Structure 1
Amino acid sequence: MADLSNLLDEVDDALGEEEDEVEVPNTQIASYEDNEDSDDNDDNADREHVELPAALEEFEQQQQGYGSEQEKHDEADQDLVELETNENHHYYVKLKRLWQQELACPELLPLDEELVEAISDQIERQQAVIDDMGEEPGDIEALLGSVLKVDCDRAQFMLSDLLRMRLWKIQEHPLHMRDLVDRMSESEFEFLKGYGQLFEGYMRRTVLDHVAKDALKNLDEPEMIDKPDLEQFVFVRVKETSEIDIGTEDEPSIQQHDPGTTLITRYNLVRELFGQGKVELIL
């Protein structure tokens, strides 16, 4: 019986050890799962707090600052649009036409003082904008400033060349210009008076003081005054249907020309039509 009892005790001990061996893996599995969940949480936390490399961080900052730079560019574009209004463009077109007509015409034309004043004011305003853009950093501002400066220089050149040509005509025919004072500005009239006094003094010292007084009586006759050559040939573009003489003095040839027609003829033959705005002179 003792041996049987010992045998049963050994069996019970063996069964207990087997149960302990079965429970240990479960505990290990549960612990492993807990550790795995903890690792996942740690990984997620690490992903949430991961630090970007320096290059990526700089790129992200540039992307965040892009909005403010874009706003600056939009403001610069808006300034450019405001400058290039229809009114300013209208003034520019009129100035270009007036400049071309003055260069092509042999006589002094009436001056549009209102247009000259408007263009001068526009150039001053645009130059102020260009100066402001030059003080702002950035390639876009520099580019816009360069574009505006080109437009400003172009308008300033045409205005200066227009006034230069008018002064040249006054110098070429000062005595004849006495009858065209109504076509001049106040400054041009003052220039004519000053130049006329110098011209008269020069002529008296070099010529008139050595000529008999009786001969001076003929100097004021119209044929003695130097005038522009109104018979010189000019290029003309027809704006309204007109009849133009394209012949010679001996053989006139009057023909009708439709709008858009371009021809070359003597200025005196189209002078009246030019004054009426039916034709325009081109370079």
Structure 2
Amino acid sequence: MAEEGDRGLEASSQEEEEEEEVLLTPAQLIRSLEQAWMNEKFSPELLESKSEVTECVMEQLEHMEENLKRAKKGDLKVSIHRMEVERIRYVLSSYLRCRIQKIEKYFPHILEKEKTRAEGEPSILSPEEFAFAKEYMANTETHLKNVALKHMPPNLQKVDLLKAVPKPNLDSFVFLRVKERQENILVEPETDEQSEYVIDLDEGSQHLIRYKTVAPLVSSGAVQLI
């Protein structure tokens, strides 16, 4: 009987631990989404797609909506949880909208980067975004031909979109917060009179710095754009 009781306590303890892990998962997901959103919002270029995070968040939103439907009406907690659902939904939609806007703005360069990426290198586009970018480029080319190019001399009826559409400005400056200490970060000179120099980024410190200097650190998660 004692053994059965011990087993029961162990099973109960395991269930409690599993429940705690499940409870932590939504918070971790939302935190990951918020970090991806801030980075995407302030980065001049399109960053790697976080499609797994967005899909999990959408599933979590569905569960939260179902729980709210079952909750008692008039409960103050329901109003608070509904506000949180709307906040998460806003962050998610803003993140996806920001990515679509960048694809529309830089589509030739994004597709060229996708075409030339090394084998095994992660794609910056989700499958849906890749399909959208290709369709957007095809529609743009068709529109240009029908509206302008067909009325021009034959030798001027082609346009190089890579040259016609400006690239993301990687020389723009961004604010960031350091999550992991970084040493020996090479900073390029701003003028011809200056020379290259090296800096250390302490954990928790905030900086205003040229984006291309810290682009790899943004991708790795070592720094957070703010």
TM-score interval w.r.t. the shorter chain?
A: 0.7 to 0.9
Aligned residue for 2:55, secondary structure, equals helix
CA distance in 2, matches of 1:115, 1:177: 21
Identify which of 52, 65, 86 aligns with 1:153: 86
> Contact 1:175–1:226 at 8 Å: present in 2 too?
no
CA distance in 1, matches of 2:81, 2:107: 39
Change (3 A) 1:269 1:211: farther
1:266 lines up with 2:189 in the alignment: no
Any conservation in 1 of the 2:61–2:85 contact (CA below 8 Å)? Answer: yes
Cα-to-partner distance string for 1:93-118 (whole Å, 9 max, x where unaligned): 11110110110111111112211111
Change (3 A) 1:240 1:212: farther
- The residue aligned with 1:174 is 107
Counterpart position of 1:126: 64
- 1:16-41 CA distances to partner (integer Å, 9 max, x unpaired)? xxxxxxxxxxxxxxxxxxxxxxxxxx
The answer to whether the Cα contact below 8 Å between 1:247 and 1:254 also exists between their aligned partners in 2 is no
Q: Alpha carbon RMSD of aligned pairs, Å?
A: 2.5
Whole-Å separation in 2 of the counterparts to 1:235 and 1:264: 5
Question: 1:223-274, CA deviations, whole angstroms, 9 ceiling, x for partnerless residues?
Answer: 4542111111111222322334274142134322222221111111222333
Secondary structure at the aligned position of 1:264 is classed as strand
Query: Quick check: which one's helix share is greater?
Result: 1
- Residue 180 of structure 1: CA displacement? 4.2
5 Å-filtered alignment, 1:51-70, equals: none
| Partners of 2:183 and 2:201 within 8 A in 1 | yes
**Residue 248 of structure 1: aligned partner:** 190
| Alignment correspondent of 1:201 | 142
Which of 25, 44, 50 matches 1:87?
Answer: 25
Q: 1:99 to 1:263 in 2, by over 3 A?
A: same
1:107 to 39, 45, 48: 45
**Which stretch shows the higher mean deviation, 95-104 or 262-271?**
262-271
SS of 2:176 mapped into structure 1 = strand
The secondary structure found in structure 2 opposite 1:177 is helix
Q: How many residues align?
A: 196
Structure 2: give runs of 5+ residues left out of the alignment. 1-18, 115-122
User: TM-score, structure 2 length as denominator?
Assistant: 0.77
SS of the counterpart of 1:204? Answer: helix
Alignment equivalent of 2:76, drawn from 136, 143, 165: 143
Would the alpha carbon gap of residues 193 and 205 (structure 1) be closer, same or farther in structure 2, given more than 3 Å must change? same
CA distance in 1, matches of 2:213, 2:152: 39
Distance 1:199 1:218, change over 3 A: closer
State the shift of 1:163 in Å.
0.5
Question: For the Cα contact (< 8 Å) 2:172–2:211, is it kept in 1?
Answer: yes
Partner amino acid for 1:148?
A: H
Q: Distance in 1 between matches of 2:199 and 2:94?
A: 35
Superposed CA deviations along residues 148-184 of structure 1, whole A, max 9, x for unmatched, are 1111111111110010000000111121121244211
List runs of 5+ in structure 1 lacking aligned partners: 1-80
Q: TM-score, normalised by structure 1?
A: 0.62
Which amino acid in 1 is paired with 2:211?
Answer: Y
Could you list the per-position Cα deviations for residues 101-140 of structure 1 after superposition, in whole angstroms to 9, with x for gaps in the alignment?
A: 110111111112211111001000101111111xx35x4x
